[in-house]
Amino acid sequence: MRQVIGGSLFIITGALAGAGSAMTLTEYLGTEPALAGSPWASRDTSPLSPAHPYVVAHFLNEGRLPPAAGLWREYAADQSDDGSTLSIACTYTLTAKLPTHRWWSIAAESSGRGERPSNSVITSDTVVAEPNGMVTLTISREAVAGNWLKPPPTGTFGLIYTIAGPESEQAPAPAAMFTIKRRDC
């Protein structure tokens, strides 16, 4: 009897270890920061990457389809440049000098698992940019003049920045990544 109970504990421990390691690796493996010190990170969706099964599992578990490597690259951030979690209680200013010849979009989505994206999106088709390609966006609960990105209605949120083009497999130039400055809270 003692042997059966002891054996069951081994099996349960093994199952928990297998599930825990799978969930951890699915969350973190294949993720690389866009730039050193930047809050933006992207997942390597290349089929040649050793992390490929984990990256695909990450997107499918979220009810999404993985972005096609080579077609576009997706970056996600859930913190501002100062390391604080993005919250609807604050106002943020995002700035970048973006290429005019490539389609891009930036979306704000709820952080909670299973939450539907808010679908507040600004794209290269709708943004108002400076003549030199400089783009400034504001994220705030209240509407503001200019490029306004509305955050989800409650809690913390994440940003998804997608950039298309033949160079999408490489990380964009530093100037092409948005800085995320926290202003008022």
In whole angstroms, give the CA distance from residue 168 to residue 52.
Answer: 17
The helix (run of H) or strand (run of E) holding residue 163 is strand 157-164
Q: Is 128 in the site for other proteins (CB under 8 A)?
A: no
Q: How many helices (H) and strands (E) does the chain have?
A: 2, 10
Q: Is 74 in the site for other proteins (CB under 8 A)?
A: yes
Nearer to other proteins, 14 or 174 (CB): 14
In whole angstroms, give the CA distance from residue 89 to residue 140.
Answer: 8
Q: Do residues 92 and 140 make contact, with C-beta atoms less than 8 angstroms apart?
A: yes
Block residue for tokens 């993985």:
66
Among 34, 94, 98, 107, the residue binding other proteins under the rule CB under 8 A is: 107
Q: How far is the CB of 13 from other proteins (least distance, A)?
A: 6
Block residue for tokens 């010190």:
37
In whole angstroms, give the CA distance from residue 70 to residue 168.
Answer: 6
Block residue for tokens 């003692």:
2
Q: How far is the CB of 185 from other proteins (least distance, A)?
A: 26
Q: Is 143 in the site for other proteins (CB under 8 A)?
A: no
Q: Which amino acid is at 119?
A: N
Q: How far is the CB of 126 from other proteins (least distance, A)?
A: 5
Q: Do residues 72 and 164 make contact, with C-beta atoms less than 8 angstroms apart?
A: yes
Q: Is 164 in the site for other proteins (CB under 8 A)?
A: yes
Nearer to other proteins, 23 or 183 (CB): 23
Nearer to other proteins, 2 or 36 (CB): 2
Q: Which residues bind other proteins (CB under 8 A)?
A: 3, 6-7, 10-11, 13-15, 17-19, 21-23, 25-26, 45, 47, 53-54, 56-57, 59-61, 63-66, 68-72, 74, 103, 105-107, 109, 116-117, 119, 121, 123, 125-126, 160-162, 164-166
